[in-house]
Each structure stands twice: as structure tokens, then as C-alpha cells.
Chain A
Amino acid sequence: MHSGRTWHDRHFGYLFVLPATLMLVAVLVFPAFITLKASVTPEGGGGWHFTLTHYVNAFRDPVLAQAFKNTFSFVAWSMAGHFALGLALALALNQALPGQTFFRLIALVPWTIPDVVAGIIFRWVLNPIHGALNPLIQMVIPSFPAEFQWLSSPTLAFPSVIFANIWRGYPLVMVMLLAGLMAIPRHLYEAAAVDGAGKLRQFWHITLPGLSTIILIALALDMVWEFRRFALVVAMTGGGPGTLTEVLSTLVYKTYFQFFTFEYASAMAIMMSVVLFILSLPYIILVGRKQ
């Protein structure tokens, strides 16, 4: 009787996880397999014909190479910017100065804005004629060219997009690091101060080790998000000028929904996902080991 109950009971768990599992399979896993299959199917051809043409073409495609390069630098610079700004502000906010709550709320604001809107804001701020940035720079450097074209410049368009993304995304890293800082016991610092350790040594030997886990998590999450960032680029430049600010997600979207080359777009999407998976492996292993 008793063992019968536990047998039933154990299997009851499946019922609870079933709805979520079914949805994940139907909406994410099954379509992912369709994409995988499409990526090895001849263009326009159904059935089970197999080809690697799309992957061969993809490796030779300069636009895809550009999108990969852009995505890597977008992710790397965004992470660096988010981390530098986030850490500096988290350290400043952790001093528990008067007005701390006010400053924390203000610093959070860019993060509360949908990334479409963030893209629009910077498109307008950087507008060569009516935007706010050129006049602002001219107030400091009078010789700065009027009507400077930030977003149509081949060299500065992409850095501008990255800058906008740093503005949009630093608050999340900041709040996570701040939560980590607050969890470090004060008495560690007091003990170190009594032992004569200076600020820098305290930072190096107490703050950084205490933050290491949360830094890793924040950067890993940030990486996955920035790798897939879509709306900000769409709203700010649409990938242009030309394909200079194209990232992987915008390129796959266009190839599928605007050029209708489904099989080729699928191959690109698979390559993108494989790279993202490899990049996030260290994090996955770390989380797995903790379990």
C-alpha cells in the first residue's frame, strides 16, 4: 500500500511539468528542428533531399562574415561598457551616501525603456541637423563640423550603435553587482583596515573575490542577451548604411522575412546558434557543476 502510493506519487511529477514541457517542445524545440532540416534542404525543395550548399555558401558570404564580426564586437564592447560603468556606479552606490536611492533609481531609467525606443532616442539625438549631440559637442569644441553624420558614417555608425547599447544595458549589470556588493560582510573590510590594508588591496582581496560569482553570471547573461539583440539595431540604423551595422539577428530576419530565402536563412540561424552555444558553454558547465 505504502509503496504503491509513492509509485503513483513519483509519477505525479510528470503531470505537473507536462504543460510547460509540451509548450517548450511545440514552440521552441520543434521549430528549431524544422530550421535544422531546412538548412540542409535544397532551395525551394521539400522532401528529404540533403545538401550542404547553404553552409558552403554561408562560409563564402561576405555579408554574413560582416554580421558575425559585428555581432562579436557588439557583444564584446557592450559587455565591457556595461561592466565598467556598472561596476563603477555599483561601487559609488554601495557607499550608502545620502540620496543613494534617488541616484539608483535614476541610473536604472535607461534599462526600463524598450530597446526599440532606445534605438529611436539615439537616432534622434544623433540626427545630423536637428539632433542634440552635434550642437552639444560644438559648445565644447567650436571647430566640430556642423551636421556631422554619425549614423551614415562608415567608421562611426557601428560605434554609435554600440554606444547606444551601452547606455541601454549598463543598469542591469549595475544592479546585479550592487546586490553582490551588499552581500559582502562589512566586517571583512573593517578587519582589513585594522590590518592596514589600503583601499586598493581591499578591493583586490575582498571586493573582487566576493563578487566573482555574480560578475560571471552578470556577464554571461549579458552576453546571451547582447548576442541576440535585435530591436535596437532595427530602430536605430536598420542595419545600414549598407550592411555596416548588420548583426546576426537582423541579417537572419531579413534573409527569411524580406528576401524569403528560407533555407539559407535557416543555415545562418543554425550557425549563429552553434556559436552562441559554444560561447555560453563555460557558463553552462559552471551552473551544471553547482547543481
Chain B
Amino acid sequence: MKFSLGSSVRNERRTDAIVSYGLLILSVIFALFPIAWMLSTSLKSEAEALSLPIRWIPKQFTLQAYGDMWTLKPFATYFWNSIVVSGVTAILSTVVGALAGYGFSRFQFRGRTSLLAFFLATQMISGVLVIGPYFQILAALDLYNTLTGLIIAYVTICLPFAAWMSKGYFDSIPKEMDEAGLVDGASRLQIFVRIICPIAVPGTVSTLLFAFLLAWQDLLWALCLVSIDERRTVTLGVAFLVGEFVIQWPMLTAASLIGSLPTILLYLFLQRYYVEGLAGGAVKG
């Protein structure tokens, strides 16, 4: 009796494993097929990409498209712009967000709860609700067509997340650390910079990542706030390739893949932090 129960459990386990593997293998095909098709196209010549019947694997591998994107189109400029915008956005939103997070975590000031709710509520605001007036403000300040205008927007969009995340992290650092500093006569700002920030550095990974990726992947703001080629980001540059009269598919697919590479690598290496942040921040609500 006992033996038969054991074997039925084992059988059940095996069925589970078979079903799971089946599902997982299907998911690999589902996830990778469109990307594989893109990779294949990017390695073809223009003529081969348009030859019929279609070829799954290029007959003649060529890196032509991966060269053209830098020479025929200014992707080097786009990349530089994306790196500057995303990098500065990541750092600024983390710093400003950490200041706010520390304020929320350590001080019981009047209106604290309402202000926290306000921070969270701003996350519900759609880009298209505010981008028109923001565009006009930038134009009035001579910041239209500048990376600065983009960076200010991205930093602000990231702030609620950044503040919320760092508040959670600061909450986990004992208040006795601050009090020890106060006893030693340090100011609140000194305590924040010299004592708390060094401990909180690991907690900034998810915020840095969140902000960097948001800025890198955005299309809406870049599209509305930049009209000249020299200021375009990679995402915007790729989007403009689709809008061209004749789409050069090998170059478009090559540029898309290269433009996605930073986000793919960052996500895959750091996704643990990102998800913990997202799930944790939301759960702690």
C-alpha cells in the first residue's frame, strides 16, 4: 500500500516534469523565433532579404548591414545621445529619489502621508497628458531639441519609483545609525551623505536600472522633444528608419538588434534586482 502510494507520487512527478518541459520548450520557440528571424535578416544582403522564396538562414552571410548603420546613418551619434541621456537620468533620479526616500523614511513631518500618496499618484499620469505643455515650456526656455530637456523629463518620471524604492531600503536601516550621528554632532545632511548613503548603495541597483532602461527605451518623449538628427536617441533613430519610404530591412534589423543589446544584457544580468524592486515596492505598498 505504502509502496504503491510512493510510485504513484513518483509517476505524478514525472508527468509534471514532462508537461513542464513541453511547455518550456514551446516557450523557447515562441520567445526566440521572431528574434531569430530578425537576426537572420540582419545577416543578409539587401537583395537576399527580399529574395523569394524566403531563406531561413542566409546563404551568404554578410555583416554589411552592421557596417551601414554607422556609415549611412549616424548611429554613433544616436548611441552617444542614448548613453548620455540614460546614464545621467539613472544617476540623477537615483540621487534625487534617495533624498526624498530618506525624508520619507526618517522624518514625521506634517503632510507626509499625503505627499507619499501624491508621489505614487503621479505614476498614473500618462505621457500624452503632459507632453504638449511640457514641450511648450521647453520651447519657451530654449530647451527644445536638447538632451537636457529629455533628461529632466525622464528623471521626473522615474522619481516616484526611485523615492519609493529608496524609502523601503532606508526603512530597513536601523534609526540608531542616525541617532549615533546626531549624538556626535553631525548635521542631518552629513548623516545622510556619510553614514546612510554608503550603506544604501546596494539598494540603488534597481533604481539605476529602472531609470536607465526607461530612458533608453522611451519613444514618446524623444519623438516630441527632439526634431533634429544630432539629438536623436537610438530608439528614436530606429523608429525613423521604419518611417522611411523604402525600408532597408537588413539595416533596420541590425540597428534594432544593436540598439536592444544594452537593454537585453542589463536586464538579463540584473533582472533579479529589478523584479525584487518592482514586486517588493508594490507589495510593501
* In the complex, per-residue mask of B221-234: 1 if CB is within 8 Å of any chain A CB, else 0: 00110000000000
Bound-complex Cα distance A120 to B160 (A):
31
A192 within 8 Å of B (CB atoms): no
Contact present for B103 and A17 (CB under 8 Å): yes
A23–B249 Cα distance when bound, in Å, is 41
B30 within 8 A of A: yes
- Residues of chain A lying within 8 A (CB to CB) of residue B27: 85, 89, 92, 103, 106-107
Cβ–Cβ contact A262 & B132, under 8 A? yes
Task: Point out which of A26, A120, A214 has the most chain B C-beta atoms below 10 A from its C-beta.
Answer: A120
Query: A261 → chain B, closest Cβ, in Å?
Result: 11
Across the interface, do B268 and A108 meet the contact criterion of CB distance under 8 Å? Answer: yes
A287 lies within 8 A of B285 (CB): yes
Which of A8-16, A46-54, A56-64, A150-158 faces chain B?
A8-16
A30 interface residue, CB < 8 Å from B? yes
Report whether A31 and B130 are in contact in the complex, using a CB–CB cutoff of 8 Å: yes
- Is B242 a contact of A20 with CB atoms below 8 Å? no
- 8 Å CB contacts to B: which residues of A263-291? 265-266, 269-270, 272-273, 276-277, 280, 284, 286-288, 290-291
Determine if A130 and B249 form an interchain contact, defined as CB atoms under 8 angstroms apart: yes
Interface size class of B (residues with CB under 8 A): 35 or more
B124 touches A277 (CB 8 A): yes
**Are the CB atoms of A28 and B35 closer together than 8 Å?**
no
Specify the chain A residue showing the minimal Cβ separation from B275: A175
State whether the Cβ of A206 lies closer than 8 Å to any Cβ in chain B: no
**Complex Cα gap A94–B103 (Å):** 39
Supposing A13-B107, A109-B31, A116-B239 touch, asked if A269 and B129 sit within 8 A by C-beta, the answer is yes
A257 contacts the other chain (Cβ, under 8 Å)? yes
Q: Is the CB of A92 within 8 A of B20?
A: yes
Check if B256 sits within 8 Å of A120, measured CB to CB. yes
What does the 1/0 interface line of A174-197 toward B look like (CB < 8 Å)? 011001100000000000010000
> A120–B252 contact, CB under 8 A?
yes
Select from chain A the residue with minimum beta-carbon distance to B95.
A19
Q: Hey, which chain B residues are within 8 Å of A92, CB to CB?
A: 19-21, 23-24, 27
Whether A221 lies near B32 (C-beta < 8 A) is no
B62 at interface, CB cutoff 8 A: no
A74 to nearest B CB, angstroms?
14
B1 within 8 A of A: no
Q: Mark B247-285, 1 if CB is under 8 A from A, else 0.
A: 001001100110110011011100100011011001101
Give the interface centre of A24, A95, A129 by most chain B CB atoms within 10 Å: A24
Nearest-Cβ distance from residue B43 to partner chain A, whole angstroms: 14
Q: How large is the interface on A (under 10, 10 to 19, 20 to 34, 35 or more residues)?
A: 35 or more
Determine whether the beta carbon of A130 is less than 8 Å from that of B54. Answer: yes
- Cβ of B83 within 8 Å of any chain A Cβ, yes or no, is no
**Assuming the A-B contacts A23-B159, A97-B20, are A117 and B130 also in contact, with contact meaning beta carbons closer than 8 angstroms in the complex?**
no
Contact B32 A24 (CB under 8 A): no
Query: Once bound together, how far apart are the Cα atoms of A269 and B130, in whole Å?
Result: 9
**A214 contacts B279, CB within 8 Å?**
yes
Question: Cβ of B76 < 8 Å from any Cβ of A?
Answer: no
- B100 & A32 in contact (Cβ 8 Å cutoff): no
Q: How far is the CB of B106 from chain A (nearest CB, A)?
A: 7
Are B34 and A103 in contact, with the CB atoms below 8 A?
no
Q: How far is the CA of A14 from the CA of B31 in the complex (A)?
A: 47
Query: B54: which A residues are within 8 A, CB to CB?
Result: 130-132, 135
Between-chain CB contacts (< 8 Å), 15 pairs: A9-B188, A12-B188, A16-B107, A26-B156, A28-B130, A111-B267, A117-B256, A124-B249, A179-B276, A179-B279, A217-B279, A217-B285, A249-B128, A288-B117, A290-B285
Q: Taking beta carbons and an 8 Å cutoff, which residues of B are in contact with A?
A: 9, 12, 16-17, 19-21, 23-24, 27-28, 30-35, 37-38, 41, 49-50, 52-54, 56, 96-97, 99-100, 102-104, 106-110, 112-113, 115, 117-134, 136-137, 152-153, 155-157, 159-160, 163, 188, 192, 216-220, 223-224, 235, 238-239, 242, 249, 252-253, 256-257, 259-260, 263-264, 266-268, 271, 275-276, 278-279, 282-283, 285
